[in-house]
Chain A
Amino acid sequence: MKNRTVAFAALAVTALFLSLSPAFAGTSDAAAAAQGIRTDISGGARFAPSYDAYTNILPAWGFDTTVGIEYAMSHWIPLRAELGVFSIGSSAWDASLFRFRAFWGYRLAALTGARLSLGRGELDILVGGAVSASRFTGLNQVTAFASAVGELRYKAPVTLPFFGGLAFDAIAAVPIEYLYRGTARTISVGLDLGVVIKLARGGAK
């Protein structure tokens, strides 16, 4: 229950961040075509069911917050690096009153993929791998594991009319991750929202 409360808080903070941050105003539709190094921050909810050799998939929920930096070329992204924090709650019970433990940790990912124009924005299709350092929540045991990562990311310029026309480049992402966790495997599917952070040289006075 605590994890879900924290997930709510994370979503609320993300929404607030998106709606209030004036630093991201003033971006343009040139974003989709921009080349070079880009940074972003995103966060959202995760559906992260696990299974092992003895039980069917047991659902669990969590959240993540990720900071990304990538080098973008015209039609592809040679390298995207992500550093994130995640938390996955305890799973549902199986019939024998077994469940998978809650865990949280830090995640470092490297991805690469294609960059496509879609509508007013840009669709990135990325694949890669990640390693995570993770603690079983509230316990004395820490582990590290690898995961395979796929990610669909849509970036588009957005203006919020009820915030005085606040404009920024928004991100909606669907990260999919397959976690190799010893005797268990976890499939994590997320829905993240975020913003592109402009590392501008100068700006409006």
Chain B
Amino acid sequence: MSARSSQPASRSFIALCFLILAAAIISSCSLTSQGVSTPSNRYALVIGISKYCPNYAEGIYPNLSYCDDDANSIAALLGNQGWNVKYKLVNTDATYETIKADIASFSTIIGGDTNASILVYYSGHGSIDDAGTPYIIPQNGIIDLGTSYTYNNIIYPNTQNDLSKWITPATLSSWMEAVPAKNRVLILDSCYSGGFVKDANSVDTSPADYSQALGTTAETGVLLAALSDFNNLVATNLASLGGRDLVALSAAGSNEVSWDDGSSGHGAFTNYLLKAAASGDSDGDGYVTVAEAYAYAKTNIKANWNPQYKYYYGSTRNEWDFLPHISGGTGDIALYAP
């Protein structure tokens, strides 16, 4: 075929190129948050427990140092970022019963509004049992026995765990899923909180215990992770059009601890969660989503916290380093929406 005879086809082809470029230019302008106003039906419960034993100072085990500060700061921030903070439970207010009741009351608050969102934030102790079941521990999940012991000239309370008050992922999920909200967000700054993060038809590529000392820092690649459970992933993704997944964000993996950070006055994770409101909008659309907050916190914990706090008191087995995790599922929600 000669060049001359193919001229009409060439012109068509070039025209098609311009058409595609025009479509791309138009698309680049179309997906910002412009035109979407922050709705008023976003409700939050914020929980922070430093004082499990109120008669002892913060930082005296089992008391923590900054969880109540975490809750106060998160509640204030969320209140300015598009959430109605209906409940803030701090220290002795944050019992198993009040947490359960406050989550349940969201159903009444929401009423028949099928477009509402709820958020639960928790900062406090977490634990894991021998079977690998993780827990968050309400204030009345640890009982002060009224006696004490002395270690290194510091007086500590003798305590007993009340396991009936500890909250499992299944329990917390059932409470939140009973609320007829369109969107549900769960954020946990506690040890072993990765156990509350459901993979939801996906595979978590971050290690359950991120440890520089143990060399467990590698994250699995896309193909390897997908092939590890390929048939099951494909089958469940084919079948499960239905309820919207809970969007969960955890400070730590399912087999590691998270930490208070004296230098910031907050939990190490919550410190960056707070800062994400100002610096975490990676796509510049005006909102910081849960996924963007996760990415911001993870990047900064990996770059700033983990190298500095690699070891725990010189041990090579009890490391301070950790990584946040986020749940699977296709959805994302604006966490900070000024």
Q: Interface on A for B, CB 8 Å cutoff?
A: 1-2, 4, 7-8, 11, 15, 18, 28-29, 44-45, 47, 50, 52-54, 59-61, 89-101, 103, 105-106, 119-121, 131, 133-136, 138-146, 156-161, 165, 167, 170, 172, 180-185, 191, 193
Complex Cα spacing A105 to B319, Å: 33
Q: Is the CB of A141 within 8 A of B327?
A: yes
Closest chain A CB from B8 CB (angstroms):
9
Residues from chain B with Cβ under 8 Å of A92 in the complex? 30-31
- Interface hub of A93, A145, A185 (most chain B Cβ within 10 A): A93
**Given A52-B241, A139-B291, A159-B3, are A99 and B325 neighbors across the interface (CB < 8 Å)?**
no
On whether the beta carbons of A183 and B240 are closer than 8 Å, the reply is yes
Q: Are A140 and B204 in contact (CB under 8 A)?
A: yes
Interface hits, B186-230 → A, CB 8 Å: 199-206, 219-220, 222-223, 225-227, 229-230
Q: Which 3 A-B pairs have the closest CB atoms?
A: A133-B226, A97-B334, A143-B202
CB distance from A130 to the nearest CB of B (A): 11
Given the interface pairs A90-B332, A93-B334, the reply to whether A161 lies near B3 with Cβ below 8 Å is yes
Q: Let me know if A141 and B21 touch, CB within 8 A.
A: no
Inside 8 A of B222's CB, which chain A residues have their CB?
105-106, 133-135, 142
Complex CA distance for A95 and B40, rounded to whole angstroms: 11
Contact across chains for A183 and B332 when beta carbons are under 8 A apart:
no
Tell me how far the C-beta of A160 lies from the nearest C-beta in chain B, rounded to whole angstroms. 6
Number of interface residues of B (CB under 8 A): 81
A–B complex contacts, Cβ < 8 Å, 22 sampled: A1-B28, A8-B28, A29-B1, A44-B20, A47-B23, A52-B241, A59-B31, A95-B115, A96-B39, A97-B337, A98-B117, A100-B332, A133-B223, A140-B206, A140-B325, A141-B204, A141-B329, A146-B238, A156-B13, A158-B10, A172-B16, A180-B241
Residues of chain B touching chain A, judged by Cβ–Cβ distance below 8 Å, are 1-3, 6-7, 9-10, 13-14, 16-17, 19-21, 23-24, 27-28, 30-31, 33, 36, 38-39, 41-42, 82, 115-117, 182-183, 199-206, 219-220, 222-223, 225-227, 229-230, 233-234, 236-238, 240-245, 282-285, 287, 289, 291, 294-295, 298, 325-334, 337
Residues of A within 8 A of B226 (CB): 105, 133-134, 142-144
Bound-state Cα–Cα, A145 to B20, Å: 28
Whether the Cβ atoms of B225 and A50 lie closer than 8 Å is no
Pair B283/A143 contact, Cβ less than 8 Å: no
Given A142-B226, A158-B6, A183-B331, output 9 extra A-B contacts at Cβ < 8 Å: A59-B30, A97-B36, A98-B182, A133-B225, A139-B294, A141-B199, A141-B200, A142-B222, A180-B238
Question: Which residues in B have their C-beta under 8 angstroms from that of A135?
Answer: 205, 222, 225
Tell me if A182 and B200 are in contact (CB < 8 A): yes
A86 CA to B287 CA in the complex, in Å?
Answer: 25
Say which residue of A47, A91, A142, A159 sits within 8 Å of B203 (CB atoms): A142
Q: Identify A183's interface contact among B116, B243, B334, CB under 8 A.
A: B243
A96–B1 alpha-carbon span in the complex (Å): 58
Q: Report the bound CA distance from A139 to B326 in whole Å.
A: 7
CB of B237 within 8 A of CB of A53, answer no
* A156 to B6 CA separation, bound complex (whole angstroms): 9
What is the bound-complex CA distance between A105 and B223, given in angstroms?
9
Provide the bound-state CA to CA distance between A161 and B285, in Å.
Answer: 43
A39 to B240, CA, bound (A): 36
List the B residue with the shortest CB-CB distance to A119. B9
B24 lies within 8 A of A11 (CB): yes
The CA of A191 and the CA of B21, in the complex, are separated in Å by: 10
CB atoms of A61 and B31 under 8 A apart? yes
Q: Which of A15, A45, A133, A185 has the most CB of B within 10 A?
A: A133
- Contact A97–B82 (Cβ < 8 Å): yes
Find out whether the CB atom of B36 lies under 8 angstroms from the CB atom of A95. yes
| B289 partner, pick from A50, A59, A99, A182, beta carbons under 8 A | A99
A47 to B26, CA, bound (A): 12
**B244–A54 contact, CB under 8 A?**
yes
CB-defined contacts of A193 to chain B, threshold 8 Å: 13, 16-17, 20
Contact B237 A146 (CB under 8 A): yes
* A164 CB to nearest chain B CB (Å): 9
* A170 to B334 alpha-carbon distance, docked (Å): 43
User: A52-B331, A89-B31, A182-B329 given as contacts; is B289 within 8 A of A45 (CB)?
Assistant: no
Q: What's the minimum C-beta distance from B154 to chain A, rounded to whole angstroms?
A: 39
A36 to chain B, nearest CB (A): 20
Return the chain B residue nearest A165 by Cβ: B3
A183→B24 contact, CB < 8 A: no
Q: If the complex has contacts A97-B333, A145-B233, A145-B237, are A140 and B326 also in contact, measured as CB distance less than 8 A?
A: yes
